[in-house]
Amino acid sequence: MNRFLTIAVFIPVAIVLVALAVANRGAAPFTLDPFNPGSPGLTVHWPLFVYLFAALGLGLVVGSVATWFRQGRYRKAARENASEARALRDQAMRAAPPAQPSLPRPNV
């Protein structure tokens, strides 16, 4: 399944990303000042593919953080269940008498 996923998904995505990077090598301005777009202090000129990859990376990070926060209640429940299981195991070990090894009886 892992090999199929690599061939069917990751390789075509990699090809598309390389094609985008090659096709968008020209510098594009990005400014943080909406009132004075020509301000050289708040404008950078990078190739467009850098913006595309940065947006992709930012999306991955934001999605990962959102998923991590969303699954917090499940991690908390798992920790509580593990703690309860340890407590029950310890209680069972204290309540059970120690096992006596049985010695084989000689056949006479």
Mean predicted confidence (pLDDT) in 65-87 = 95
Which tops the pLDDT comparison, 73 or 31?
A: 73
- Please give the tally of structural domains in the chain: 1
Which of 33-37, 40-44, 54-58 reaches the highest mean pLDDT? Answer: 54-58
CB contact at 8 A, 38 and 20? no
Say how many Å lie between the first and final Cα of the chain, rounded.
61
Compute and round to an integer the Cα radius of gyration of the chain: 30
Is 27 inside any structural domain? Answer: yes
**pLDDT score, position 99:** 65
Which tops the pLDDT comparison, 81 or 2?
A: 81
What letter would DSSP give residue 103? P
Is 101 inside any structural domain? Answer: no
Is 7 inside any structural domain? Answer: yes
Is 44 inside any structural domain? Answer: yes
Taking the complete model, does pTM exceed 0.75, yes or no? Answer: no
